Amino acid sequence: MRLENKVIVVTGASAGMGEAIVTRFVQEGAKVVAVARRKERLEALIASLKDAPGAVVACPGDMADPATSEKMVDMAVQTFGRLDVLVNCAGIMDDNTAVGDMSDEMLDRLLRVNTCGPIYAMRKAVRVFLAQGEGGNIVNVTSVGAFHQTAGVAYCASKGALASATKNTAFMYMEEGIRCNAIAPGGVVTEIPMVMPTPNEFGFGRTSTLLTHSPELGMPEDIAEAALFLASDESKFVNGTTITCDGGWTCF
Ligand SMILES: NC(=O)c1ccc[n+]([C@@H]2O[C@H](COP(=O)([O-])OP(=O)(O)OC[C@H]3O[C@@H](n4cnc5c(N)ncnc54)[C@H](O)[C@@H]3O)[C@@H](O)[C@H]2O)c1
């Protein structure tokens, strides 16, 4: 098994890619703390994995609150004895607004959940990695929107900042053996369209022109395979980079 006995925190675990990542990791023997706001969805996920080789516990919490990052990593250490990998997958979409239409609330919420949340989590994880003294591994889920204009200004800025924070963290701690990489998914079939706000007409008019280049949408399991590679020791020489998983959408 590729993650046997690795202790891993995965955020955004109640749906979409995060749920697929937890499922794949537990099948590979990982001991996982699954984090999201909806407790009942996390409990259903745990029940679905009861016969899998690894283990999984639920940690309900909002990633916009720095206390959630403290709680989830403490839970990993208290329940499983240590932390090996952090996967920051929780995220939300904006309404495709260009800056002229953007509200203060939209910018604040997107930066808080998509950028501050993962950075709070990295801070806590790095402190534990340094105390353990055996290196560590972080995988952030950004988006092709970090580098291409697939959404509004708030979403693209939030994911671009996370891509930057990924590189910075890899650079800062490479001598301590802490790796930090990101995955930039393209269009993937998840619950995100159901929870995203109604698209702004002007902004969506602009971003939808990119859809002419779009291949078939990916599935959450496609992203889970990339996350498995980055979380495992097979990627030990990969550090400070973003792997694009978009079926070729942005290679024009
Ligand atoms: N689906 C796509 O096409 C796509 C493309 C590029 C990037 N992404 C990114 O992939 C990641 C996963 O998205 P998905 O498509 O699986 O979406 P999803 O809506 O299916 O799942 C998102 C998960 O994050 C959780 N979440 C959202 N806000 C949270 C918060 N404040 N605190 C804790 N948990 C929270 C949700 O409860 C859910 O478990 C996100 O970061 C998203 O931005 C998605």
What local confidence, expressed as pLDDT, does residue 213 receive?
86
Provide the 3-class DSSP secondary structure of residue 215. Answer: coil
Task: Give CA 27 to chain center in angstroms.
Answer: 19
Distance CA 231, CA 212 (A): 33
The CB of 185 under 6 Å from ligand 1? The reply is yes
Query: Which helix or strand (DSSP H or E) is residue 35 part of?
Result: strand 31-36
What local confidence, expressed as pLDDT, does residue 252 receive?
85
Strand partners, 87: 10, 139
What local confidence, expressed as pLDDT, does residue 193 receive?
87
Closest residue (by CA) to atom 29 of ligand 1? 90
pLDDT tens for 178-189 read: 999 999 999 999
What local confidence, expressed as pLDDT, does residue 26 receive?
98
Sorted by sequence, the CB contacts under 8 Å of residue 193 that are 6+ apart come out as 93
Mutate to test the pocket of ligand 1, among 10, 14, 17 (most ligand atoms within 8 A of CB): 17
| Known catalytic residue at 173 | no
What local confidence, expressed as pLDDT, does residue 121 receive?
99
Please give the angle made by the CA atoms of 2, 192 and 170, to the nearest 5 degrees: 45
Catalytic residue among 155, 157, 226, 243: 155
- Which of 91-117 are b and which e, b meaning 16 or more Cβ less than 10 Å from the residue's Cβ? bbbbbbbbeeebeeebbebbbbbbbbb
* Domain extents in the chain: 7-245
Q: 7-245: what fold?
A: Rossmann fold (3.40.50)
The CB of 87 under 6 Å from ligand 1? The reply is no
Nearest atom in ligand 1 to 155's CA = 43
Q: Collect the ranges in the chain with pLDDT lower than 50.
A: none
Closest residue (by CA) to atom 40 of ligand 1? 91
Distance CA 120, CA 186 (A): 25
